[in-house]
Amino acid sequence: GAVVSQHPSWVICKSGTSVKIECRSLDFQATTMFWYRQFPKQSLMLMATSNEGSKATYEQGVEKDKFLINHASLTLSTLTVTSAHPEDSSFYICSARSPRGSYSNQPQHFGDGTRLSIL
Amino acid sequence: ELKVEQNPLFLSMQEGKNYTIYCNYSTTSDRLYWYRQDPGKSLESLFVLLSNGAVKQEGRLMASLDTKARLSTLHITAAVHDLSATYFCAVDSTSGTYKYIFGTGTRLKVLA
């Protein structure tokens, strides 16, 4: 099956610092990637849609200046949490959209997630 | 706005018992996905349901889709402890961007 790699898997940092999370599709080109956030015991909430070569589309209520998304190549999207604060602590999961007709009709393939803890 | 609700939110059951998890969604969609999530982990794909009446089975789990009722079910047969996890359904949004809207999740605990 399709492989999506997410790095780092776990990060702890001090309040006020910026943290970058990488999402790579290893065996297909992904023109579109998605970033989700999941708080403990809650569902996944879509934050933004990352489009290769263009600006990301953010969901309502997500601050685009705080969560910077860059999708500079067909295999890599990055999410940077700027000036992170304790309330940004969460589990962040990316997914990559596979080309139509591939991978058993599954449009999205998920990374392993990044657990972000802001002290 | 597309909403996806699951019922129940939490389920505790004895090994060997059967139970069904329900996933209701608020607008038309002919694709629905079921995922499993273990604590601290990402999502594991279980089923892809692509049309009305679709039924898929894998081991003790069986999923079905009724697009007219906007309802999907995940049936558990003779539960075992290893099935303890959180189960999510997800629906394609209607915007054509393949965005998923996830259900509220069902935390399943199977007691030995």
* Chain segment A30-67, per-residue pLDDT in tens: 889 999 999 999 999 999 999 888 899 999 999 999 99
For the segment B79-94, the average pLDDT, to the nearest whole number, is: 92
Helix (H, G, I), strand (E, B) or coil at B54: coil
- Per-residue pLDDT tens for A64-82? 999 999 998 999 999 999 9
Confidence of residue A4 (pLDDT cuts 50, 70, 90): very high
What percentage of chain A has pLDDT greater than the value 70? 93
What percentage of chain A has pLDDT greater than the value 90? 76
Using the CB atoms, write b or e for B3-34: b if 16+ within 10 Å: ebebeeeebebeeeeebebebebeeebebbbb
Q: How far apart are CA A99 and CA A30, in angstroms?
A: 7
pLDDT at A84: 96
A33 by Cβ neighbours in 10 Å (0-12 / 13-18 / 19+) ranks as buried
CA dihedral of residues B65, B67, B69, B74 (deg, nearest 10): 20
Q: Report CA-CA distances (Å) from B40 to A95, A113, B98, B110.
A: 17, 9, 26, 18
B60: tokens are 């003790």
pLDDT at A94: 97
Q: Cβ of B97 and A49 within 8 Å?
A: yes
Residue A1 burial (CB count, 10 A):
10
Residues of chain A contacting B, Cβ within 8 Å: 6, 32, 34, 41-46, 49, 57, 93, 95, 97, 104-108, 110-113, 115
> Contact B6/B103 with Cβ under 8 angstroms?
yes
- Say if B105 is an interface residue toward chain A (CB within 8 Å): yes
Among the partner-chain residues B42, B103, B105, the one whose CB lies closest to the CB of A93 is: B42
Average pLDDT value for chain B: 93
Q: Cβ of A104 and B103 within 8 Å?
A: no
Quick one: which H or E segment has residue A78?
A: strand A76-81
- Per-residue pLDDT tens for B44-84? 999 999 888 899 999 999 999 999 999 999 999 999 999 99
pLDDT at A107: 78
Among the partner-chain residues A43, A110, A111, the one whose CB lies closest to the CB of B105 is: A43
pLDDT at B12: 96
Chain A residues in contact with B50 by the CB 8 A cut-off are: 105
What percentage of chain B has pLDDT greater than the value 90? 81
pLDDT for residue A5 is more than 70 = yes
Residue ranges of E strands in A26-61: 32-38, 44-51, 57-58
pLDDT at A100: 65
pLDDT for residue A112 is more than 80 = yes
Q: What does DSSP assign to residue A98?
A: P
